[in-house]
Structure 1
Amino acid sequence: MLSSARRFFIRRRYLGWTSAAGVCLLLICIIYVLSTGSWEAPKLRAVANGKYADLKKSRYENRNRHKQGPGEYGAGVFLQGEEKKNADELAKKEAFNIIASDGIALDRSLPDVRNPACKSVEYPKDLPTASVVIIFHNEAWTPLLRTAHSVVNRSPPQYLHEVILLDDASYRDRLGEELDKYVQDTWPDGVVKVVRVKERAGLIRARIAGAKAATGDVLIFLDSHCEANEGWLEPLLARIGENSSRVLVPGIDAIDSETLEYSKNGGIAVGGFTWSLHFTWSPFVPTKWELDQGFGKEWQPLRSPTMPGGLFAADRKYFFDVGAYDPGMDVWGGENLEISFRVWMCGGSLEFIPCSRVGHIFRSSHPYTFPGNKDTHGINSMRLAEVWMDEYKRLFYMHRRDLLKQDMGDISERKALRERLKCKSFSWYLENVYPEKFIIDEKVLAYGMVRNPGSNLCLDTMGKDEKTRFDIGLFHCQNGASANEVFSLSQKNELRREEACLDSVGAEGSKVSLNPCHGHKGNQEWRHHKDSGVIVHVPSGKCLDVSGLKSGDSVQLKKCNGGNDQKWTIEHYLDI
């Protein structure tokens, strides 16, 4: 028999071996977790997925169940009396009708606005998985959660890997513990997760954080006031599954900021930009390449020079390989054009996918603050221009001379990225991706200030919104300090801005308006005679005239007389 001391020694040694084995097992588990990003072992995860399989199936199959109530099937909610008065007052802060939103179910039904041809498209069964990343900062409760509900309910569960609600340091009531509890109770399968940053990152850096937290094959970024519609996910995943270097934008439907009505238009447009580096919408006109490739129909993928920014999908690995976002950009502004130029110039492509529909509340203003009240759009755009636009950055600074002495931060890493990826020139981008883009000072007859020497008055847009029609004004010539006074005389004899042309009915004494260029001459055709100085409206034969006018008035047309009030010079002559 073993002595008591001997037995004690053996037991101690056994316990030591057991403890050591336990520590080793724990280390193995930790290493596994760090490498997979999951606290669940594969077997437990499979059990969990099986446990919630019925829930996921039911959630998806019942997404279109018949419902009644305010806002159902995308209907608008129209308030009256005191309720409308309160809503209007709150809209000053929220920039949308929060009372109408709060009265609509978080999982409301929507009209299927897809082109009928989209409904017959069959997608592969084996598609990549999606991580949907939704950034929010002090977003109102109902639009935020309606976004999450719409994504989960209208996404086939086998393709929806996760929905990440990334909180960019919100301090609004309900967005802390109450949001955590709601998410846990509503989606016990864990498909929706709340991830928080410790301090305000701004939209751009918050998206980088959200992308790093994601583990699905494809990243899909949505704003926190969207509603994903029927069949929205598969077209995006299938297109990226074919080519991982495609960056895709769904068809974006307007959700009215006052009534929350979901637009039934179902139309499509593509993206452009102004030389002041703001995004613009452009009507879709198929290029010869698209027609030759069998594309060009409104329901097929559409190549686009730029994207609006808030809603897009990209292969997760490709997103980081091509440079993600510029982390030197602050908060918001310019990042959408930067990634658009970069993707195209560095070998990728950008497309709108009309068969994927997502609604978006277009607010008239930002309901949140910009730290330091900085001109983040301007400084971010300056970084973009310096890294990607080569000699064409001159056209940006033509609009933003005030930025020439601003500190934009270090851009050496972004320039090194461009070099490493062997990206093409911005000239290549303009020639191959956006050949229809009007370049103010290239392939024109003249450009710059259009000046009447006798009065020192120049044609001037007076800072008005060029998406609207208005009369062209006169203002003291600013000698290049104001982009409002930059015009071009095109080879088509249009006196124009980037997208709008001088237009007139030609009556004696009539004003001259700025209207969208149509390219068919007519009331938009002008002739400038450099020797005599007159600018003649070809259809009427009348001349631009400043007689009896002062700074702040609108320029007029009068019968040509060759007087000083009808003599003009254009700042730079190229071919006239």
Structure 2
Amino acid sequence: MSEDMSKKLTVIIPFLNEGMEVAHTVASIRQYAADRVEILVINDASNHLYDYEEMLKPYSATYLRNEERLGIAACRDLGVSLIQTPYFLFLDAHMRFYREGWAEQIADYLDEDDRRLLCCQTYALVKDESDEVIPLSGRGVSYGAYISFQDANLLSPKWIFTEDPEPEKELIDIPCVFGAAYAASKRYWIYLRGLEGLIRYGFDETYISLKVWLEGGRCQLIKNIEAGHIYRTRSPYRVCQDELMYNRLWIAALLLPDELEEKVFSICRHQNEPLYQKMLQLLDEHKDLLAELKEHYKQIFTVDFDRVKRLSNIY
């Protein structure tokens, strides 16, 4: 990517089989941020017959195509490694913006403190029968997410639907980012080792949010930056249960205290014993990386896990 020191933020958009929505998302970024941000679009080996590179030419976006699918976690880490700006914003490829100034506001917050993981406010959208994008009716305002530590969905993010906890503030602490519009500094992301260890898809938000809080940073919601997110009835790609189980086991083995780790492993085993055994074998194949990351986090984490857990347990 070209280096332009006047720009502080790169929008990173990994996608798979998103069709025209890729261009619509990039067009929305350019409409409200013009040329004040860089845009990096990563095609994760789409097999739909769209000429994405040609589609994106009017928007001055850097386009990269993976010959083999890496998965969302690895694509995000790849994107961060390639950018020249100090900060980035991850987006899905089916999103919209609605006002100017959002890019500068994100950069200003990260200038103040680059040990933040910032989450934009989610504005839920759907497509109607004529394929027009409209607000999702009946959805209340959410204030980030919390991490479930209570049930069979342990480690899953859950929306926080409540009254505005701090109406006088534009920026508030939240237990977990959610909604597919997250910003951070490249320096901090690399220091935390990003999403390293996850495979394909699942639990990205839980993983990075826990690491930020355990390191002593903060996950925060920017309430006045709305990122429109189109919610769909079906995904353009297949999400496999092995990916979801493996990533949950990985987080448990790497970050959780013994009691919670055992609980996660027990839940996964009871859900699907044959798949669980297969994922245990895969974990064993990656034991050297697991050990390396454990040592890294032992050196940089400063916050007790019970304190981090309490952030979510109040919901």
Match of 1:244 among 104, 109, 114: 114
Q: Which residue of 1 aligns with 2:144?
A: 270
1:382 aligns to what? 249
Say whether 1:131 aligns with 2:5: no
> Which residue in 1 is equivalent to 2:297?
418
Equivalences for 1:402-441 in 2 at 5 Å? 402=270, 405=277, 406-407=279-280, 408=283, 409-410=286-287, 411-431=290-310, 433-436=311-314
Secondary structure, counterpart of 2:119 in structure 1:
strand
TM-score by length of 2: 0.84
**CA distance in structure 2 between the partners assigned to 1:298 and 1:398 by the alignment:** 43
Corresponding residue for residue 198 of structure 2: 329
Q: Which amino acid aligns with 1:153?
A: Q
The structure 1 residue matched to 2:54, chosen from 178, 181, 195, is 181
State the secondary structure of the residue aligned to 1:429: helix
Give yes or no for the alignment of 1:393 onto 2:271. Answer: no
**CA distance change for structure 1 residues 308 and 144 in 2, over 3 Å: closer, same or farther?**
same
**What SS does the corresponding residue of 1:312 show, helix, strand or coil?**
strand
Q: Distance in 1 between matches of 2:229 and 2:55?
A: 23
Shift of 1:128: 6.4
The total of aligned residue pairs comes to 294
The reply to whether residue 316 of structure 1 matches residue 186 of structure 2 is: yes
- Maintained 8 Å contact 1:236/1:250: no
Tell me the secondary structure at the aligned position of residue 330 of structure 1: coil
Deviation at 1:389, TM superposition (A): 1.2
**Residue 299 of structure 1: how far off its partner (Å):** 5.4
Kept in 2, the 8 Å contact 1:298–1:354? The answer is no
Structure 1 counterpart SS, 2:220: strand
1:165 is aligned to 2:45: no
> Is 242-251 or 261-270 further displaced after alignment?
261-270
Where do 1:44-123 residues align within 5 Å? none
C-alpha contact 2:19 2:50 (8 A) present in aligned 1: no
Q: 5+ residue gaps in structure 1?
A: 1-36, 47-126, 288-295, 438-576
Following superposition, the deviation at residue 421 of structure 1 comes to 1.1
8 A contact 2:195–2:208 mirrored in 1 = yes
User: How far 1:307 sits from its partner (Å)?
Assistant: 1.4
1:309 is displaced (CA, Å) by 5.8
Secondary structure of the 2:213 match is: helix
1:273-292 paired onto structure 2 within 5 Å: 273-275=147-149, 276-284=154-162
Counterpart AA for 2:123: D
- Give the partner amino acid of 2:293: R
**1:304 match:** 174
Among 149, 152, 158, the alignment partner of 2:27 is 149
> One-letter code of the match for 1:217?
P
SS in 2 for 1:241: helix
d(CA) in 1 for partners of 2:86 and 2:67? Answer: 26
Superposed CA offset, 1:304-340 (max 9, x none): 10112622000111111121112x2111101210101
Q: Which residue of 2 aligns with 1:440?
A: none
Secondary structure of the structure 2 residue equivalent to 1:313: strand
SS class of match (2:135): coil
Residues in 1 aligned to 2:312 and 2:55: alpha-carbon distance in whole angstroms:
46
Q: How far is the alpha carbon of 1:193 from its aligned partner?
A: 1.2
- Sort the Cα spacing of 1:257 and 1:396 in 2 relative to 1 into closer, same or farther, 3 A: farther
Distance in 2, matches of 1:299 and 1:422, equals: 28
Q: Is the partner of 2:46 in helix, strand or coil? A: coil
Partner secondary structure for residue 134 of structure 2: coil
Query: Would the aligned equivalents of 1:235 and 1:355 in 2 still touch at CA under 8 Å?
Result: no
C-alpha RMSD over aligned residues? 2.6
DSSP-derived class of the 2:133 partner: coil
**SS of alignment partner, residue 169 of structure 1:** coil
The answer to whether the 8 Å contact 2:117/2:184 transfers is yes
Q: Report which structure shows greater RCO (CA 8 Å, sep ≥6).
A: 2
CA distance in 2, matches of 1:153, 1:298: 29
Which 4+ residue blocks in structure 1 deviate beyond 4 angstroms? 263-266, 284-287
Contact 2:117 2:182 in 1 (8 A): yes
CA–CA distance in 1 between the matches of 2:67 and 2:19?
A: 20
TM-score scaled by structure 1?
0.48
User: Could you tell me how far 1:397 is from its partner in structure 2?
Assistant: 3.4
Q: CA deviation at 1:434?
A: 3.2
- Matched-pair contact (CA < 8 Å) for 1:309–1:335: no
SS in 1 for 2:308: helix
Match of 1:87 in 2: none
Q: Gaps spanning 5+ residues in structure 2: where?
A: none
Give 1:233 shift: 2.3
Question: Contact 2:43 / 2:66 at 8 angstroms: preserved in 1?
Answer: yes
Instruction: State how far apart, in whole Å, the 1-side matches of 2:314 and 2:178 are.
Output: 19
Matched position secondary structure for 2:237: coil
